[in-house]
Chains A and B, each alone.
Chain A
Amino acid sequence: MIKLEARPQPSRWMSLASPLMALAITVLIGVFLFVILGKDPWRGLQVFFIEPVKNLYQISELSVKATPLILIALGLAVCYRSNVWNIGAEGQFVAGALCAGWVAMQAGPDTAWLGRGIVFFVLIGGVLGGMVWAAIVALLRDRFNANEILVSLMLVYVAELLLSYLVYGPWKDPKGYNFPQTITFLADTRIPRLVPTLRAHIGVLIAAVAVAGFWLFLFRSYRGFALQVGGLAPAAARYAGFSSRQALWTALLISGGMAGLAGGLEAAGPLGQLSPYVPAGYGFAAIIVAYVGRLHPVGIIFSGFLMSLFYIGGELAQSRLGLPKSLTGVFQGLLLFTLLACDTLIHYRVRWQRAAAPSNVTKAA
Chain B
Amino acid sequence: MSRLELTGISKQYPAVRANDLVSLRVEPGQIHAVLGENGAGKSTMMKIIYGAVQPDEGQIRWNGEAVKITSPAHARKLGISMVYQHFSLFDTLTAAENVWLGLDKSMTLPEVAKRIVEVASSYGLDVDAQRPVHTLSVGERQRVEIVRALLTKPQLLILDEPTSVLTPQAVDKLFVTLRQLSDGGCSILYISHKLDEIRALCHHCTVLRGGKVTGEVDPAKESNASLSRLMIGAEPPPLRHESRTPGATVLAVQQLSLAKQEPFGMDLHGINLEVRAGEIVGMAGVSGNGQQELMAALSGEDPRAAPACIRMDGKDMAQASPVARRAMGLHFVPEERLGRGAVPTLSLAQNTLLTRTETVGRLGWIHTGQVQRLAEGLIARFNVKAGGADAAAKSLSGGNLQKFIVGREIAAKPKLLIVSQPTWGVDVGAAAQIRGELLKLRDGGCALLVVSEELDELFEVSDRLVVIAKGRVSPSVPTAEATVAQIGEWMSGLWPETPEATQEATAGVATKVAS
Contacts and interface: CB of A to CB of B under 8 A. Distances in A.
A233 B365 contact: no
B322 interface: yes
Instruction: Please indicate which of the listed interface residues A221, A222, A235, A240 has the most CB atoms of chain B within 10 Å of its own CB.
Output: A240
B15 A8 contact: yes
A352 interface: no
A14 B13 CA distance: 21
Given A232-B346, A236-B339, A236-B341, A362 B366 contact: no
Interface in B59-81: 62, 65-70, 74, 77-78
Nearest to B346: A232
B336 A235 contact: yes
A240 B68 CA distance: 49
B332 A222 contact: no
A240 B354 contact: yes
Interface string B348-391: 00100111010010001110100000000000000000000000
Given A7-B14, A221-B366, A364-B65, A240 B355 contact: yes
B3 to A, nearest CB: 13
Contact of A222 (B77, B364, B392): B364
B340 interface: yes
A222 B74 contact: no
B345 interface: yes
Contact of B395 (A9, A238, A364): A9
A222 B342 contact: no
Contacts of A235: 336, 339-340
Contact of B353 (A8, A222, A233, A361): A222
A361 B357 CA distance: 59
Contacts of B300: 241
Contacts of B368: 220
A221 to B, nearest CB: 5
Given A222-B366, A232-B343, A365 B74 contact: yes
B359 to A, nearest CB: 9
Contact of B301 (A238, A360, A365): A238
B344 interface: yes
B340 A236 contact: yes
B423 interface: no
Instruction: Please indicate which of the listed interface residues B15, B300, B342, B346 has the most CB atoms of chain A within 10 Å of its own CB.
Output: B346
Contacts of B62: 364
Nearest to B54: A356
Contacts of B355: 240
Contact of B360 (A6, A8, A222, A233): A222
B334 interface: yes
B67 A236 contact: no
Instruction: Please indicate which of the listed interface residues B334, B344, B357, B366 has the most CB atoms of chain A within 10 Å of its own CB.
Output: B366
Given A239-B332, A241-B321, A223 B364 contact: yes
A111 to B, nearest CB: 35
Nearest to B354: A240
A245 to B, nearest CB: 12
Contact of B67 (A5, A6, A221, A362): A362
Interface in B394-426: 395
Interface in A236-264: 236, 238-241, 243
Given A220-B368, A363-B66, 8 more contacts: A223-B364, A233-B339, A233-B344, A235-B336, A241-B322, A362-B74, A365-B70, A365-B77
Interface of B: 13-15, 62, 65-70, 74, 77-78, 299-301, 321-324, 326, 332, 334, 336, 339-346, 350, 353-355, 357, 360, 364-366, 368, 392, 395
